[in-house]
Chains A and B, each alone.
Chain A
């Protein structure tokens, strides 16, 4: 192990880590806000949360109807989608700094996640 008294992380590392951290932070904030709003709306309306989180078109319908459980379901889905958005951010950051090899590798992870999500939805 090299423990020199110098060198912050290399610029390329910072260029990858910072945008990814920002995406995760915002994903959490949006999800937490939706969950909070959804729980409050559900409580005010006196309705219970749904036992099975519905598909996306149904969730959108529920939200348009002012249904709190739909907002909670969207909050859960935003949380699940946040690491996917972070992986997409890695792909874009790699392309921006000319790191083509890891842009391809991160894209492969993203494609596997999309295939999983898409095949599950069928």
Chain B
């Protein structure tokens, strides 16, 4: 691979991370479609690169969340049992199925994410009362700098959360995405975990989940350094830039544009599953 192509891959990864960061979805959701559709990277090599990039983002992002006590390690470990198991199953499936199946599933997931962006609830979900029973010892506390107060919560509906995490793990393992796109809403809407704690816990958990994916793909010889290195660097820099842009721009105004990009990528992936390549793609 030439130096220009390597730089282009890094730039594309940064663009994927900026988009993902501004939408709160993570860069992996965009990385695989962009690498496969526009650079002709093999789907399984792109998924492996995405998984390693997800780990990089998790490792960097989690340190801040851990020090702010947004990360609930008890919850991450408990959900990790089913998520990691699901990810291993998903990654093993991804290794054996035809790439067209992966294109199709990725397209459908991306389309679902695009639709969810449009119908996303605007009102915050009420968090759980700290007085509720806590049989799994998941109670946690953090300080919300916006209000200056301590927020204490107990995650609810843990068994349902464990089941949903298995599904998130399978998707994560199969597609190389972090799974945060499922984990954060699941923890917030279903388990009544405050958004900041859900995001902090998910950031840590997706890194552990992606390790399961990456090891399966590494053993299958799909971790390609010429793709992984620009992806890691691009995702790292793009996430930083995306976070800065998100705090300065009114991203709500850009959501329609981003959703249109997601819809385009998802339709492209579904068409690719049937062997149809749109103009301008490889």
Contacts and interface: CB of A to CB of B under 8 A. Distances in A.
Nearest to A49: B225
Nearest to B147: A3
Contact of A117 (B129, B142, B215): B215
B141 interface: yes
Contact of B153 (A1, A49, A52, A77): A1
A9 B62 CA distance: 17
Interface stretch (B81-89, B97-105, B114-122): B81-89
A84 B218 CA distance: 15
Interface residues of A, number: 55
Interface string A95-116: 0000001100110110011001
Contact of B71 (A6, A17, A25): A17
Contacts of B151: 1-3
A37 B281 CA distance: 35
B140 A9 contact: yes
- Secondary structure at chain A's binding surface: helix, strand, loop or mixed? helix
B129 A109 contact: no
Contacts of A102: 73-74, 77, 137
B84 A109 contact: yes
A80 B126 CA distance: 36
**Interface centre among B144, B207, B224, by most A CB within 10 Å?**
B207
A64 interface: no
A39 B229 contact: yes
Contacts of B215: 80, 113, 116-117, 120
Given A1-B127, A69-B225, A79-B56, A17 B69 contact: yes
A53 B67 contact: no
Interface in A57-76: 69, 72-73, 76
9 contacts: A18-B67, A52-B223, A72-B229, A80-B215, A86-B62, A105-B77, A109-B80, A109-B84, A112-B85
